[in-house]
Each structure stands twice: as structure tokens, then as C-alpha cells.
């Protein structure tokens, strides 16, 4: 009997202990839910077109000589990078130098004649004041002085012209750029009587623009200042950014399709080289919205 009582007491104690532990144990809180923000999406309205890269006005220069002669030296070849003022070619200038020296000698002679005529006029004026020389003789001396003065001015102009012509024998780069073509060779004779012969063509690769051919159905939505981006085949999907700077009023009609040239200016990329006549795929942005 006592054994049964003891077991009962132990069972009751275990139940009470478990109940107390259950009451003192903190209730488990359900895990809180984290709401992730919905990322914003950019929705753009664009006009797509194909185009080509062209030099800006003044970025492609055909350099020639305004003087005739034999090409003595040619300092550049296709692909060379040149700076503004750098020598490109040189003509045989011996004839031009001789003409310059002849003009200089003629000027020195004219200045000597002018000095003599000036002294002669001064002397004859003194004689005329003293009554020792007729007025007609003084007039003749003054006329001789005026002629000598005109001859001096003419000789000075001739020397300036000869010096300028001599300077034309040295052809220098008018802009910085890359040599795109060379149209002459050493030893060739060039004649500048009717047209300036082209020696070298230079292109400034830092002054390029895109001509995008926009269809007539889309041109009404294009405005100056709209952002644009384009790709070229050689660099895959890499995009270059620019802005619309001009819309040509005259259409380009090809295969009965009317397009309008839309000019896009862009900053030259630092790590890529874009070249004229590269084909471009252009997207001109009309509108941009951020949506959730």
C-alpha cells in the first residue's frame, strides 16, 4: 500500500513539474515576414534607325600646294598621326628661292634710287630758294622722287609675293589628325595653275558625328537635344551615347524610301577608336518613364 502511495506521489510531482516548466517557457514567436521592395523598371520609347559615322565639317581636310614644282620630300604616309603645323611635304624650292633673292635685290636697288632722289630733291629745293634753279627743274626732281617712291613700293610688294610663294613650297598640316590618304609621291611634278593639287587628306578622329537615316514616318517625333545611343559592328553590343544636334531638311531617297538625316554628336570614347564610314545602329530616345 505504501509502495502504491509513493508511486502516485512521484507521478503527481512529475506532472506538476512539467506543468510549471510549460508555463515558464517563453512562447515562440512566428518568424516575421520581410517585404522586398519592388525594383523600378525603366520604360523607354525610342526611334530606331541605321546610320553611318562621318567627319564633322572642317574635320576632313585635303591639303595641297598653292605653288607648282617637283615634290622633293614627303614626310608622312597613310595612318600617321600629325599635329597642327607639322610638315607634310616639301617642293623643290630652288626656283622660288632665286625669285625671292631677285626680288630682294630689286628692292635694295629701288631703295637706293629713292634715297638718291630724296637727296636730289632736297638739294634742288635749296638751289631754287637761292634763285639758282628754275622751278621746272625742281618739279622734274620732285617727279623723279615720286617715281622712285612708287618703284620702291612695287619692289617691296614683289618681294613679299616671292617670299609667300617660297613659303608655299613647304606644306604643313592645318589641323591635327590622322593621314587618311596620300595622293602624290616624291619626284612627281605638281601644277597649281588651275586647281590646288591634293597631297594629303587629314581626318580629325576626335571630331566625328553620326548621320542617322530616320524614316519619314518617325521624323516628326525627332527633336534637337534628344538623347541617343548607337552601336557599331566592330564593338558588338557596346553602346555609345550622344544627342541630336541637327535634322537635315532635304530628304535622302533610296529605293523609293524617304529618310531624313539626323545628326548625332558624341564625345570621342577614350578606349575605342571610331572611324568614318562605320555603320551604326541608332536608338533615339523619345520618352523615358520609371515604373514599379
39-83 pLDDT, tens digit per residue, is 566 667 899 999 999 999 999 999 988 888 899 999 999 999 999
231, 281 Cβ separation under 8 angstroms = yes
Q: Contact 244/211 with Cβ under 8 angstroms?
A: no
Does 31 fall in a domain? no
Does residue 145 or residue 19 have the better pLDDT? 145
Whole-Å CA distances, 249 to 260, 261, 264: 7, 8, 15
- Indicate if the pLDDT at residue 96 is higher than 60: yes
Residue 104 lies in a domain: yes
- Do 109 and 236 share a structural domain? no
180 and 88 in a common domain:
yes
Whether pLDDT at 178 is above 90: yes
Q: Single out the residue in 181, 203, 225 at which a domain terminates.
A: 203
List the beta bridge partners of residue 44: 288
3-state secondary structure of 286: strand
Indicate whether this model's pTM tops 0.85. no
Selected residue with higher pLDDT from 12 and 222: 222
Q: pLDDT averaged over the chain?
A: 88
Judge if 153 and 106 occupy the same domain: yes
- CA-CA distance, 269 to 169, in Å (whole number)? 37
Q: Worst-scoring range by mean pLDDT, 47-51, 107-111, 187-191, 209-213?
A: 187-191
Same domain? For 68 and 127 the reply is no
Please tell me whether residues 246 and 114 are part of one structural domain. no
pLDDT attached to residue 7: 46
Spatial CB neighbours of 261, under 8 Å, sequence gap ≥ 6: 211, 212, 213, 214, 247, 248, 252
Residues 190 and 104 in one domain: no
Supply angle C-alpha 77, 199, 180, rounded to 5. 45
Is the distance from CB of 170 to CB of 71 less than 8 angstroms?
no
Whether residues 239 and 210 fall in one domain:
yes
Residue 182 CB neighbour total at 10 angstroms: 18
State the pLDDT confidence band at 9, using cuts at 50, 70 and 90. Answer: low
Residue 113, domain member (yes or no): yes
Span 198-253, pLDDT tens digits: 889 999 999 999 999 999 999 999 999 999 999 999 999 999 999 999 999 999 99
Task: Verify that 183 and 113 share a domain, yes or no.
Answer: no
User: 64-76, pLDDT tens digit by residue?
Assistant: 888 888 999 999 9
Q: Are residues 260 and 158 in the same domain?
A: no
> Regarding predicted confidence, which is higher, 220 or 1?
220
Model pLDDT, residue 2:
46
**What is the domain range of residue 112?**
95-167
pLDDT of residue 230: 97
Q: Give the number of domains in the chain.
A: 3
Q: How far apart are CA 64 and CA 191, in angstroms?
A: 11
Residue 216 counted as domain residue? yes
pLDDT at 175 over 60: yes
User: Is 199 a member of any domain?
Assistant: yes
- Taking 90 as the threshold, does the pLDDT of residue 149 lie above it? yes
Asked if the model's pLDDT at residue 25 lies above 60, the reply is no
Any idea what the CATH number is for the domain that residue 53 is in? 2.40.30.170
Q: What is the pLDDT of residues 252-290, one digit of tens each?
A: 998 899 999 999 999 999 888 999 999 999 999 998 655
Amino acid at each position: 500500500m505504501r509502495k502504491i502511495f509513493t508511486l502516485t506521489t512521484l507521478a503527481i510531482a512529475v506532472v506538476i513539474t512539467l506543468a510549471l516548466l510549460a508555463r515558464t517557457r517563453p512562447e515562440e514567436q512566428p518568424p516575421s515576414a520581410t517585404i522586398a521592395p519592388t525594383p523600378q523598371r525603366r520604360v523607354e520609347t525610342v526611334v530606331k534607325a541605321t546610320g553611318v559615322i562621318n567627319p564633322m565639317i572642317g574635320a576632313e581636310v585635303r591639303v595641297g600646294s598653292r605653288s607648282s614644282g617637283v615634290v622633293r620630300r614627303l614626310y608622312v604616309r597613310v595612318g600617321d598621326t600629325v599635329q597642327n603645323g607639322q610638315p607634310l611635304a616639301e617642293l623643290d624650292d630652288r626656283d622660288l628661292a632665286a625669285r625671292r633673292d631677285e626680288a630682294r635685290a630689286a628692292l635694295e636697288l629701288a631703295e637706293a634710287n629713292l634715297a638718291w632722289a630724296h637727296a636730289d630733291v632736297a638739294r634742288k629745293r635749296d638751289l631754287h630758294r637761292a634763285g639758282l634753279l628754275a622751278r621746272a627743274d625742281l618739279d622734274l626732281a620732285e617727279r623723279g622722287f615720286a617715281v622712285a617712291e612708287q618703284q620702291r613700293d612695287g619692289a617691296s610688294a614683289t618681294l613679299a609675293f616671292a617670299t609667300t610663294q617660297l613659303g608655299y613650297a613647304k606644306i604643313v598640316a592645318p589641323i591635327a589628325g590622322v593621314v587618311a590618304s596620300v595622293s602624290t609621291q616624291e619626284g612627281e611634278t605638281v601644277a597649281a595653275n588651275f586647281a590646288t593639287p591634293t597631297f594629303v587628306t587629314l581626318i580629325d578622329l576626335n571630331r566625328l558625328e553620326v548621320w542617322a537615316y530616320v524614316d519619314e514616318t518617325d521624323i516628326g517625333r525627332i527633336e534637337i537635344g534628344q538623347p541617343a545611343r548607337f552601336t557599331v559592328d566592330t564593338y558588338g553590343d557596346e553602346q555609345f551615347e550622344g544627342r541630336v544636334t541637327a535634322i537635315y531638311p532635304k530628304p535622302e531617297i533610296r529605293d523609293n524610301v524617304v529618310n531624313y538625316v539626323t545628326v548625332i554628336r558624341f564625345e570621342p570614347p577614350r578606349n575605342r577608336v571610331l572611324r568614318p564610314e562605320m555603320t551604326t545602329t541608332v536608338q533615339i530616345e523619345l520618352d523615358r518613364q520609371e515604373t514599379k
